[in-house]
Structure 1
Amino acid sequence: MLDGMLVLGGGVLLLAVLLFLLATLARMRRELVTLRASEALFRRLTEDVSDVIWRADRNLFITYINPTDEKLRGFRADEVIGHHVFEMFTDEGIATVTKLIQQRQEREAGGTISGAVTFEVQHRCKDGRLLWGEVLSKPERDAHGRITGYHGISRETTERKRLQDQIQQLAFYDPLTGLPNRRLLEDRLGQSLASSRRTGVFGALLFLDLDNFKPLNDLHGHEAGDLLLIEAARRLKAGVRETDTVARFGGDEFVVIIRELDRDPAVSREQVATIAEKLRGRLAEPYRLSVEHGGLAGQEIEHRCSASIGIRVFIGNGVDPDEILKQADLAMYEAKDAGRNTVRFFSPPAETV
């Protein structure tokens, strides 16, 4: 009888286990159905949006990306998943992201936990095009605060970037020559003065006025004059370093800022004198201008036009930028009074330059 009770008890226990397993399987099935429904909903939502939704592991390898990326850049999901995010960006974009990562690491090493970041970089397309995209990236963390991955949204901003660049071009650059205008010149001069003050190295400002410009306008019209100004701007830019600034001050006047000459004022003066003579010589070479409109359409005009140049060598010790411009302008008029096509320095009494 005892054996029968044990068998019966074992059967009840087995039945209870089976019922528990069946209930567990039923629950898991319901959860699986719910999960699949959620995944289907997530897929529909992400596939229909116009932004790129992505996810990456802690080493920045893509683990998920929605189909919008294929519409924008031309890459299928299977051509992106498993690849590093840097493959999406240009070298400049990679440098931007690398810097952001380093900044995050530095902050978190100091105990500051960082959240989402937004940045704008160029993205590579399958057909070789480049497009601008704004990226919102947020880190994923475990219970200990360690980063386990990233997720985010990327949105194309090519047109917005183009409009921003156009607005900046109109605000800070001369529409005819493409050179910095007076507004940007003032900013560059302020930067040069600050750099000179910090390093103790002299800089210089050259004020140039074209000597024989008005007769060209009067004789052949403004189109010929514009062509000459464009060519003069090109010659000036070709005659200085990329770190220097060539700006159109207005009309037929140009300004050149020469940065980082020398700590010795006499040496700086010699250096800028050499540069000024080179620019003077370039501007004095004959101009051959092909006019496309008016009575001279299709003809080439040859014109000679020299420049008078005034120079103000400076050190950034509290001098006023407007004064530097005025003093270089005065030196330029001295060059004109000396017969034009020449160079003159302005030397403040309080300075040995």
Structure 2
Amino acid sequence: MTIPSSRSDRERLIRALFDDYIEMYAGRDDRLIHHFSDNFSGHTGGGDFLVKDRMVWEKVTRQDFAQVPERIRFELLDLSLQDISDDVVLVTALFHIHLPIPDPAFAKEVARLVLLFRLEDSVWKIVHNSYSIPDRLVQNGEIYPLQLLREKNKALEALVEERTQALHDSEALHRLLTEDAQDVLWKLDSNFCVTYISPADERVRGFKANEVVGHSVLEMFTPEGVAIVKDVMRQGQEARQSGATSYFFTFEASHLCKDGRVIWGEVLSKPDRNAQGDIVGYHGITREITERKRLQDQVRQLAFFDPLTQLPNRRLLSDRLSQAMATSKRSACYGALMFLDLDNFKPLNDAHGHVVGDLLLMEVANRITRCVRETDTVARFGGDEFVVLLGELTTEEVQSGVQACLVAEKIRGKLCEPYQLIVAQDNAAERIIEHRCSVSIGVTLFLGTDSNPNDVLTAADAAMYRAKDAGRNSVWSAVAFDQSDVSQ
């Protein structure tokens, strides 16, 4: 059997298996037993005990078929499929049972069937079967209460209704089915207090159930996670105000562990409603995705940051420049872009090798970063070339140009200070290499989105070459102003 590659494929397969099961049961077909796992448990419709042996369950099934050998008709009322994990699916069905005897009262009652499917060696098997029949007072080992159906009175009907409601409200079976699930299953009341949490939470976060139940769900998250959850709550309120009656939210948030660790969880949440449509609580599943988040962060680091200096690379610089230009358009404030190129980097590489050259580049990155604001961007463009992006200067072009050149002069001065590069050596003392370096810097301004990011980079690059042509170790601005403004 081919394992489904998506949730929708898996749901269609499980639905087909469920339909096949119902058809065999309704037709009193002995082949039904082949659907059961060797590791099986079940609650019988007419019994109060849990069957833990597959052979015993086969005997109960055959007893069922012997008691009512004629075909039974099922009128399906509701069906839900819930993914417990990739290889475990919970199916819950509500229906009317039409026995081959005239009893309209019994046919109006609601019976419930719960099947737990698990993927075993590429084959989906039923590992738990529980069905409840409203009238549980069977006699003489009956599966269906045929005798009492004929003797039922109003008092018994009230007892059946009470028992059925009690079964719906009970969480005992729910706990049984979820004890071994890897994901955390939970329920909240309308005030977002935890009313139930599965044992998996203790395995994942270390908290016992009695340390969580009765507490606000927000206590499970870090401050950053709380902000995410509150935003989801806001979205839910907006969805209700827009008239949505059913919605399912999926989000990722950081969770607190009892030992102080922080883990990431993918949360699936849906509200519970009463018969009047009012929200009376919430239920959902939380799956730990810490390792997945770590791998995603690694991929992002490789995609957007220079591995040597940890500075943004060209791709991230382009994105931030586009954002800065859009911000500039809204605020009417100028931004500036600097293109930096070290003047005598190659001789250092040639004399001492790339290891020493890398040490210099890392120190250059640190010095540039210390010269700008946290909101500014310092990027490594490639080789010994760096780019500095300054946002939100002023609305005056000349004043903005002066500010940008002041920062550029500050950077130039810092990069001209002597370097002491410490080189670690195998089985030898560290070696210190002293080096002096200068830099040529080109500066250009931008306002709004009148030009594209490539044009701004080209202008800064051209200004940098003007600085090189002017004798290096200098700053060249594409904006004309009194240079004495900078020296002051």
TM-score interval w.r.t. the shorter chain? 0.7 to 0.9
Question: Displacement of 1:184 after TM fit?
Answer: 1.0
Q: Give the partner amino acid of 1:120.
A: E
- State the alpha-carbon separation in 1 of the partners of residues 279 and 158 from structure 2: 34
Q: Secondary structure at the match of 2:401?
A: helix
Query: In the alignment, is residue 150 of structure 1 matched against residue 276 of structure 2?
Result: no
Distance 1:71 1:320 in 2: 52
SS at match of 2:311: coil
C-alpha deviation, 1:40, in angstroms: 4.4
Residues 1:346 and 2:478 aligned together: yes
- Which whole-Å CA distance do the structure 1 matches of 2:370 and 2:428 have between them? 29
On the 8 A contact 1:62/1:82 being kept in 2, the answer is yes
Relative distance call for 1:295 and 1:24 in structure 2 (3 A) is closer
1:1-353 residue pairs with structure 2 within 5 A? 23=156, 35=167, 39-293=171-425, 298-347=430-479
- Between the aligned partners of 1:199 and 1:182, the Cα distance in structure 2 is 25
Contact 2:271–2:281 (Cα < 8 Å) also in 1:
yes
Structure 2 letter corresponding to 1:55: K
C-alpha RMSD of matched pairs (Å): 2.4
* Native 8 Å contact 1:104 1:114 kept in 2: no
Structure 2 gap segments, 5+ residues each: 1-151, 481-488
Report if aligned partners of 1:210, 1:252 keep a CA contact under 8 Å in 2.
yes
Conserved 8 A contact 1:136-1:152: yes
| Contact 2:443 2:460 survives alignment (8 Å) | yes
Distance 1:297 1:265 in 2: 53
Q: Which amino acid aligns with 1:116?
A: F
Q: Aligned partners of 2:238 and 2:355: how far apart in 1?
A: 57
Q: After superposing the two structures, state which structure 1 stretch, 282-291 or 45-54, moved more.
A: 282-291
Cα displacement (A) at 1:296: 8.4
Q: Distance in 2 between matches of 1:331 and 1:294?
A: 44
Compared CA separation, residues 296 and 246, structure 1 to 2 (3 A): farther
By relative contact order (CA 8 Å, sep 6+), the higher-ranking structure is: 1
Give the letter aligned to residue 470 of structure 2.
A
More helix by share: 1
Aligned position for 1:16: none
AA partner of residue 432 (structure 2): E
The verdict on how the C-alpha distance between 1:25 and 1:109 changes in structure 2, with shifts beyond 3 A counting, is closer
Letter in 2 for 1:143: A
Give the whole-Å Cα distance in 2 for the aligned partners of 1:241 and 1:57: 46
Q: Which residue of 2 aligns with 1:6?
A: none
More moved, 21-30 vs 84-93 = 21-30
Q: TM-score, normalised by structure 2?
A: 0.64
Structure (1/2) with the larger strand percentage: 2
Q: TM-score, normalised by structure 1?
A: 0.87
SS in 2 for 1:292: strand
Q: Is 312-321 or 169-178 further displaced after alignment?
A: 312-321
Is the contact between residue 291 and residue 297 of structure 1 (CA under 8 Å) also seen in structure 2? no
CA deviation after TM superposition for structure 1 residue 295, in Å: 10
> Structure 1 residues 187 and 116 mapped into 2: Cα distance closer, same or farther (>3 Å)?
same
Percent identity among equivalent residues? 57
Number of residue-to-residue matches in the alignment: 329
TM-superposed deviation, 1:108: 2.2
